[in-house]
Structure 1
């Protein structure tokens, strides 16, 4: 379960940032997760809850925003890769659905850019 190791890294980042800013509590955390990471958000949130239960981040609201990759083509097209955004894990497209995306301009295969990130976007703290 790689979600646990990811949760540990996120938790360490959040706690270090909170301590650096002399926070009394962490109110909320916003994460951006690329669809190509195939991170299970339910497992990640569970792990973060377990890690934070005895810390200043206990009870912090965690928002997850999924980021889809975009397509680039040698013809110059750069835009939507054509896969819809859904917030639920089971609704995430499988990798093969991205593998055969074609350019809407010339019909060649698109090269995917992005969608593999996992970032702590914001941390709301109480001082």
Structure 2
């Protein structure tokens, strides 16, 4: 469950930014999570609620936008989203170009894990 360590790092950065801005409360956190990170948004929200107890982020709302994978194909020059990828292993997906089926692709989106905005008071 890699969500725990990543959620901890996210909350650390949120609390650090809030302290630097003299916040008394974190109201909302806006996140972008790439589908290829294999992070579960519902699990992240649960962990956030648990690890923020007793902090200025307790009770905050977490808005998580899931980013779909986007690729560039080296064979046919396809540049765009993919809707399906075969999983060889839980953490090792095989990504194919939807146009030509090539697996030699460059991933240009879908691996994000970032805090986009924090609403504080």
TM-score of the aligned structures, taking structure 1 as reference length: 0.79
Deviation sequence 1:63-89 (CA, Å, 0-9, x none) = 1100111121223321122x17xxxxx
| Counterpart Cα distance in 1 of 2:37 and 2:8 | 16
Pairwise CA distance, 1:32:
0.7
Q: Any unmatched runs of 5+ in structure 2? A: none
Deviation sequence 1:67-112 (CA, Å, 0-9, x none) = 111121223321122x17xxxxxxxx6635x6253342xx241513
Number of residues of Structure 1 aligned to a counterpart in Structure 2: 114
Q: Any unmatched runs of 5+ in structure 1? A: 85-92
TM-score of the aligned structures, taking structure 2 as reference length: 0.83
1:120 aligns with 2:121: no
The structure with the largest helix share of the pair is 1
The structure with the largest strand share of the pair is 2
1:94 and 1:13, CA in 2 relative to 1: closer, same or farther beyond 3 A? farther
Displaced runs of 4 or more, over 6 A: none
